Structure formats: C-alpha cells, structure tokens
Chains A and B, each alone.
Chain A
Amino acid sequence: EAGVTQFPSHSVIEKGQTVTLRCDPISGHDNLYWYRRVMGKEIKFLLHFVKESKQDESGMPNNRFLAERTGGTYSTLKVQPAELEDSGVYFCASSPGQGAYEQYFGPGTRLTVT
C-alpha cells in the first residue's frame, strides 16, 4: 500500500511569489490534514478535510494560504504571496477515521522563501 506522498520535496521561491504544494493521501482515506513546522518550532495543525469539504481551518495563519481538495482525492496548499515567515516544512497526513492516533504522515515539503 502506497503511503502519503507530497510534491515537491523542496521548493525555493522568492518573497512575493506563489507556491503550490500537493498531497496525495493513502487511497480510501477520507480525512486529510495539513500541518507545518517553522524553524525551531513545533509541528502545528493547519486544517482538516473530510472528503472534499473543509472541516476545520482554525490553524491557517492568514488568507494568503488557500487549501483545496478536488473530488476528495489529492489536496493542494497554495501560498500567495509567500512571505519569509512561511518558510518551514509542510506535512500532509491522512486517516481513515478521525482518531488522532490514525494519522499517517507524508515526508513533507520543505519550503524556503528568500
């Protein structure tokens, strides 16, 4: 069974540019989550999808971040325009149910904004 995959693995962009991160969850997992870890900080929750619906966006830092999950399959996280403080590692996780202990994490996308 393939795990959670994320693309790209690393992205370097300039301040003000746009970047789109992609996550492919484990097949059959209705729940998809985005987390991020900025330098020196803990991994923090960003948002949660159930199928194609956003259930919880409480962790999204501001309106420069837009997440979508088309058809309840893969998800994208767009940052527009990127700021220096957006640098960090963005993790995607998926789960079959909503138990906190059921989440499988992807390898992350390392975003560097210069």
Chain B
Amino acid sequence: QKEVEQDPGPLSVPEGAIVSLNCTYSNSAFQYFMWYRQYSRKGPELLMYTYSSGNKEDGRFTAQVDKSSKYISLFIRDSQPSDSATYLCAMSRWNDYKLSFGAGTTVTVRA
C-alpha cells in the first residue's frame, strides 16, 4: 500500500468552477500537509501547508485536513485557466524534512 494516494485525474473543469482535489494517507504520524502546484517542465511550487488538523484559507485556495479519516483536500474557487497544472499533495512527520508525495492530479481549466 502506498503511503499517500492521490487520484491522478485528469480533471477538466470550466472557468469559474470549484476544483476539488484530495489525498488519503496511511501513516498516522504525518503532521504537516502540503499542496504543491507544478507547471509543465517546472518544479513543484508550494501553495500552502497545514499543521495537524483543520482548515486554512489563502485567497481562492482552501486546504482541509481530517486526521481522523486520514484525508486531505484542496479547493480552488473561481478557477482560472492559469490554474491549469498538476497539483501534488505531500506530507511529513513532525520535525522531519522528508516529504512523501502523492502521484499528482492534472487539472485543466477551460476558458
């Protein structure tokens, strides 16, 4: 079983729609939960991170963590064509630098 499971998609939505992405994980020791955006031929870029459970909002982006279900989500409101990218979830244990990544979900926002 993989430590982090992420639906690879692809996901195609019209401009202005809400994009919903999620990951599940098996390691209950994970405490930090990150979402990265990766454009083609570029490296992963951190969008936001959450420590432990709860929600975090940053502009059009909302991250949610449910540790009891080992489930994390990223919502993108009012999606734009510029949001078209691969979105990767990543996690780490407390005080650990090693990231465990999901496979990434490819999102296309149609104008």
Contacts and interface: CB of A to CB of B under 8 A. Distances in A.
Interface of A: 4, 9, 31, 33, 35, 41-45, 48, 56, 59, 91, 93, 95, 98-101, 103-108
Interface string B92-108: 10011111111110000
A107 B42 contact: yes
A91 B44 CA distance: 9
A35 B99 CA distance: 9
How extensive is the interface on chain B, given as a class? Answer: 20 to 34
A35 B88 CA distance: 14
A100 B32 contact: yes
Interface in B55-111: 88, 90, 92, 95-104
A99 B97 contact: yes
Contact of B88 (A33, A43, A56, A59): A43
B4 interface: yes
Nearest to A105: B43
Given A95-B97, A107-B42, A101 B102 contact: no
Nearest to B46: A101
Given A42-B102, A43-B88, A100-B92, A4 B43 contact: yes
A108 B98 contact: no
Given A100-B34, A105-B45, A108-B43, A42 B92 contact: no
A48 B44 CA distance: 18
Nearest to B45: A105
Nearest to A95: B97
Contacts of B97: 31, 33, 48, 95, 98-100, 103
Nearest to B51: A101
